[in-house]
Amino acid sequence: MVKKLVGYYNLSDTAKEESWYDILGFEIEKIKMTDYIKGNGRFCPAIKKSLENVFEIKSPFDIELKHEFLPDGRSWVEVSDNSSLKPGAFDDIFHVNPIDDRNDIKKPLLQMKIPLILLSDDDIEVELLPPLAYYNKLPGITAVGKVNIYKWHRPVNWVFEWHEPEKPIIIKRGEPLIWLKFTSKNRDDIITLKKVNQTDDMYKSLIACRTTKNVSKVTLSTWDLNLKNRKKYLIKSHIRIILEKLHLV
Render pLDDT for 79-131 as a digit per residue (tens, 0 to 9): 999 999 999 999 999 999 999 999 999 999 999 999 999 999 999 999 999 99
Give me the count of residues in the chain: 249
d(CA 233, CA 150): 10
Render pLDDT for 11-63 as a digit per residue (tens, 0 to 9): 876 656 678 898 899 999 999 888 888 888 888 888 888 889 999 999 999 99
DSSP 29-76: EEPPHHHH--SGGGG-HHHHHHTTTEEEEE-SS-EEEEEEE-TTS-EE
Contacts of 3 by beta carbon, 8 Å cutoff, 6+ apart: 189, 190, 191, 192
One-letter amino acid identity for 84? S
Q: Please report which residue ranges of the chain form alpha helices under DSSP H.
A: 20-24, 33-36, 45-50, 90-93, 200-215, 219-226, 238-245
- pLDDT for 239: 53
Please tell me the pTM assigned to this model. 0.85
Closest C-alpha to 156, from 140, 186, 177? 177
Residues 129 and 115 sit within 8 Å (Cβ to Cβ): no
Of the chain, the end-to-end C-alpha distance in Å amounts to 18
Q: Is 151 exposed, middle or buried (0-12, 13-18, 19+ CB in 10 A)?
A: buried
Render pLDDT for 1-18 as a digit per residue (tens, 0 to 9): 788 999 999 887 665 667
Q: What is the Cα 116 distance to its own chain's centre?
A: 7
